[in-house]
Amino acid sequence: MQNSDTTEDVKMAIQKNFQKMGEAMAKGDLGLLASYFTEDALLKFSGKEPIQGRVGITKAHQEMLDRGILVKPETTEVQSFGEMAYEIGTYQLVTSKNEKIDSGYYATIWKKVDGNWKIFRDIISSTAS
């Protein structure tokens, strides 16, 4: 195992994580979904109070699942610093019929825990007012 991933390694790890997170949502496996966040992750949606920890993160994703909302993230930039990295990206929230509900930007701080990149901080800024 390398001690220090390159930015390119992290970019690929993030894309793979997003794919796996999408699959976990599609299966309704929210325990798996939550495992892509650190135990103490902070998740801040626009227009909501922040959520900290996997219990709250699971609940928030359950609500999205119940409402049939899918998240489509797209990475704009990544830079890695050993065991941590930041990512800036854009996102869309869509219905199962691919109708756009919301879109905006996010900043994610990724942290490598036991060899796996996990979401540590996720600050989401909607473009819609």
Query: What part of residues 4-63 is at the interface with a second copy (CB under 8 A)?
Result: 42, 44-50
Is the distance from CB of 69 to CB of 95 less than 8 angstroms?
A: yes
Stretch that binds a second copy, among 7-15, 55-63, 83-91, 93-101 (CB under 8 A): 83-91
Q: How far is CA 75 from CA 18, 20, 70, 85, in A?
A: 10, 15, 16, 13
Output 31 or 82, the one with its CB closest to a second copy.
82
- Count of residues binding a second copy (CB under 8 A)? 27
Q: Which residues pair with 89 in a beta bridge?
A: 75, 106
The pair of three-digit structure tokens given for residue 103, joined into one six-digit string? 């879109």
Q: How far is CA 21 from CA 49, 82, 122, 127, in A?
A: 23, 23, 15, 23
What is the nearest approach in angstroms of a second copy to the Cβ of residue 77?
8
Q: Per CB under 8 A, does 126 bind a second copy?
A: yes
Q: Per CB under 8 A, does 71 bind a second copy?
A: no
Q: Report the interface residues with a second copy, using CB under 8 A.
A: 42, 44-50, 79, 81-82, 84, 86, 88, 104-107, 109, 121, 123-129
